[in-house]
Structure 1
Amino acid sequence: MPPLSRSVHEEMSKRLNAAREDLLGAVRARTTADEGDAPSIGPLAHEAQGDDRNTAEMIGHDEVHLAEHDANTLHEIDVALGKLEAGGAGICESCGREIPDARLLATPTVRTCTECQDRIEKETHTGRGPSM
């Protein structure tokens, strides 16, 4: 299988690194705070005098889920950057076939070709189905 073209390699690297920096910025904003303030991800960080405790807990719970999502996304970006550096980007992890450049550029963290992704979604019942 031919390696990625130089232009696709550079574009994927640019997009992945930009996405990584943006996501790290969002994580830092959520986990750091000014002196005397609690970070927004902290327990009951959204509760102020007279606030509804249940609402504050729900917002805090959402912040934890966002942090988990961000951590998973960072992992996917790091895996894609590693594969790009090692020369393994663009190869389906399921069947070993080439992943089309258009798919890689649309979603640089993609790990499977469309045929394998369709099969996986059918087997696990995780496909989105019709959009309208």
Structure 2
Amino acid sequence: MPPLSHSVTEELSKRLHQARDDLLETLRSRTGSADDDAPAIGALAHQGQSDDGAQSEMLSHNEQHLADHESALLHEIGVAIGKLESGGAGICETCGCDIPEARLMATPTVRLCIACQEQLEKDQHTGRGPSM
């Protein structure tokens, strides 16, 4: 496999580090509190004295789901940065074929070539399927 071009490597590194910094800032702003209040993520974080318990629980559940998603995304960014720094970026984790630079530029955390991604989605029934 030809290595990624220097300009693509620099651009991917810049994008991945910026995405990581932005995501960390988002997480800090949501979980930190200036007034010793409970963070927004927590079982009773959205419940006041006269609030609806079910609605508060739903909001807390949504915050937890979002935090889980952001944590997974942070992990994917970390993996992509590691692969970029070790020279493994642009190689499909399943078949070892090249991942086109255009695909990496579109989705810097991509780990599979198009053919392997399509097969994975087919096997797991997670593809988008027909659109309307």
Shorter chain as denominator, the TM-score bin is over 0.9
Deviation at 1:49, TM superposition (A): 2.2
Q: Do structure 1's residue 110 and structure 2's residue 131 form an aligned pair?
A: no
For residues 97-128 of structure 1, give each alpha carbon's deviation from its aligned partner in whole angstroms, at most 9, with x where no partner exists: 10001100000000000011001100110111
Deviation at 1:50, TM superposition (A): 1.1
Partner of 2:4: 4
Partner of 1:22: 22
Distance 1:130 1:73 in 2: 26
Partner of 2:35: 35
TM-score (norm 2): 0.96
Partner of 1:53: 53
Identity %: 63
Partner of 1:81: 81
Unpaired stretches in structure 1, ≥5 consecutive residues: none
What RMSD, in angstroms, separates the aligned Cα atoms of the two structures?
0.9
Runs of 4+ in 1 over 6 A off after TM superposition: none
Distance 2:113 2:129 in 1: 18
Distance 1:3 1:111 in 2: 16
Partner AA of 2:124 in structure 1: T
TM-score (norm 1): 0.96
Distance 1:57 1:30 in 2: 17
Distance 1:121 1:37 in 2: 43
Unpaired stretches in structure 2, ≥5 consecutive residues: none
For residues 35-54 of structure 1, give each alpha carbon's deviation from its aligned partner in whole angstroms, at most 9, with x where no partner exists: 23111002211111211011
For residues 12 and 131 of structure 1, do their structure 2 counterparts lie closer, same or farther at Cα, with a shift above 3 Å needed? farther
Partner AA of 2:130 in structure 1: P
SS of the counterpart of 2:37? coil
